[in-house]
Amino acid sequence: MTLIVLGIETSCDETGAALVRVDGEVLSDVVQSQVKLHAPYGGVVPELASRDHLRNVEPVLVEAAARAGMKLGDVDGVAVTCRPGLSGALLVGVQAARGLAWALEKPLVGVDHLVGHLLSPFLRFANVECPAAPEYPFVALLASGGHTALYRVDASSVDAIRELGATRDDAAGEAFDKVAKLLGLGYPGGPVIDRLAKEGNPDTVDLIWPMRQKNSFEFSFSGLKTDVMRWVERNGRPGNDQTLRDLCAGFQRRVVDTLVGKAVLAAEREGVRTLVLAGGVAANRELRERALAAATARGIRLVVPPFRACTDNAAMIAYAGAQRLARGERDTELEISPNTALPRVTRKGRGERTARA
């Protein structure tokens, strides 16, 4: 019998439910977005996110079962995001999962949201062109609104994933959103900056390059964001003209080149021949194009999930949970946490680093 798992995702501003087989076949994937709810504020408001999850979690679950042509009681287990994320938002999903698992008498597992993203290339959607799944080990660049880091992934379990380097401050997606807000482009910022950058010249506006050191896999985007802010203070906010497109192109090129350069170098130093892009920023057009060119030039295979698997979704949570259930793992006590369970790098004095869970 093929294991089928129900996944629930409520870590931030997407309410998601999905039914996925242990081999990665997606039977249904439903996402209720909160973008319009948070757009007037230029970012996610935690209290509003939690309340919207409360309203949407039940209808999303019902819709996921209906699209799969199944009853919720037909699943073999329940998986839910339990970390990292907004505490109130996580709590809605975890409580729903606990109640369902108890009522249906099904096993329950918690999933680290970042592990879900790292395993998203294994998903297979009907009527969507999906790349062949990567082989272990691989190096992954996970770039989203809340996280930017490089990982070596040797298997699907948490203890087989090792962080190689992470952002010291803003995540890449966060930097896109903040710069878009500075330029009056609305929320979310990534898609609109990417669209404008396509018609701009990245070399016209002189901006700093963020942490391009080749001996480090860490990132920092706050300085670049501040440089854009100072440019606006000196020159004023550009209108919808070529200057705006050039500014967006310059900002995006610096973010993308930093991400790509460190990701390809990490794959080479780790001696692996596969590089995965994951997270919402992996939907960025320029990142995909430049990563493909750089990886191909070095004989590295690039694997990028379909667009719908890059942003937050419950299918990746269901798949990651299915891997845990297939290994015989269960969670009798499930607690939420705003932090990931993956090793994170901290500094102790100059150049000394230690990992913490």
Q: Domain segments of the chain: what residues?
A: 4-129+309-342, 138-304
Rounded to 5 degrees, φ, ψ at 333 are -115, 120
Contact indicator for 52, 95 with CB cutoff of 8 Å? no
Residue 350 pLDDT? 33
Domains 4-129+309-342 and 138-304 share a fold: yes
Q: What's the length of the chain?
A: 357
Q: State both tokens at 239.
A: 């209108």
Only one residue has tokens 């995001």, namely 81
Q: State both tokens at 198.
A: 């396509």
Contact indicator for 297, 304 with CB cutoff of 8 Å? no
> What is the helix (H) or strand (E) element at residue 189, kind and residue range?
helix 189-197
Tally of CB atoms within 10 A around 128: 13
Residue 66 pLDDT? 97
Which is it for strands 148-153 and 138-143: parallel, antiparallel or unpaired? Answer: antiparallel
Residue 227 pLDDT? 97
Topology adopted by domain 4-129+309-342: Nucleotidyltransferase; domain 5 (3.30.420)
CB neighbour class for 140 (10 Å; exposed up to 12, middle 13-18, buried from 19):
buried
Contacts of 10 (CB under 8 A, 6+ apart): 16, 53, 57, 81, 85, 89, 90, 92, 93, 96
Instruction: Summarize pLDDT for 103-133 with one digit per residue, the tens.
Output: 999 999 999 999 999 999 999 999 888 999 9
Residue 1 pLDDT? 58
Residue 352 pLDDT? 35
Only one residue has tokens 């000196």, namely 234
Homologous superfamily assigned to 138-304 = ATPase, nucleotide binding domain (3.30.420.40)
Which is it for strands 301-303 and 148-153: parallel, antiparallel or unpaired? Answer: unpaired
Contacts of 59 (CB under 8 A, 6+ apart): 32
DSSP 8-state code for residue 299: T
* Strand residue runs (E) in 84-160: 108-112, 138-143, 148-153
> What is the helix (H) or strand (E) element at residue 288, kind and residue range?
helix 285-297
With a cut of 70, list the residues of the chain below it in pLDDT: 1, 214, 344-357
